[in-house]
Amino acid sequence: MLIDLISFLPFYVPLLGMDLRIIRVVRLFRFFRLMKMWRYSQSLSMIVNVIKSKKEELSITLFSGAILLIVASSLLYFIEHDAQPDTFSSIPAAMWWGVITLTTVGYGDVYPVTVLGKIIGASIAVLSIGLFALPAGIIASGFASELQDQPAKSQICPHCGKEINLRTQE
């Protein structure tokens, strides 16, 4: 109730004649009202259960991505620093290229110009596609196991009164 009150109360503050513009920030609490949907939706609670059950695997994938980012950025720094000292000025500066390449966005503002840099850059770009496919597979397998763990839904036949197991009918 308090979140509901805080979310709509700033709407009425200007009607009182006060100019409290900073209180308008409190309007952002309206987004917290959406969180009440989690109580009523089985699908949203299933998403939370899947992420909780697969958090170790997802953590390992995230850690692997961080290691790949550091290794790729370091390699490109050592290969491209002499050819492009302003673009690849340090390993943290090379991490911009690494993040853009690993997320497969490819802005084109930073890119390797040497042959070896292009080969490693292409290899990292291909590896990054697999890196982002891993969490999708982990979450999909979590959904499959979550659906198998749910009890079978059943209904009563209106004609004979016997129980119908919906999982076996599919």
- For residues 107 and 111, what is the distance between their CA atoms, to the nearest angstrom? 9
Selection from 27-31, 33-37, 62-66 with the highest mean pLDDT:
62-66
pLDDT at 170 over 60: no
Tell me which residue range forms the domain holding 78. 42-149
Number of H helices, E strands in the chain: 8, 2
Co-location of 46 and 117 in the same domain: yes
Band (pLDDT 50/70/90 cuts) for residue 119 is very high
Co-location of 139 and 80 in the same domain: yes
Co-location of 61 and 30 in the same domain: no
DSSP element (H, E) containing 154: strand 154-156
The predicted model gives 90-101 an average pLDDT of 89
Kindly report the pTM of this predicted structure: 0.63
DSSP element (H, E) containing 162: none
DSSP assignment, residue 151? Answer: P
Higher pLDDT, 27 or 159: 159
Higher pLDDT, 42 or 57: 57
pLDDT at 143 over 70: yes
Looking only at the bridges linking them, the beta strands covering 163-165 and 154-156 are antiparallel
Q: What is the pLDDT of residue 104?
A: 73
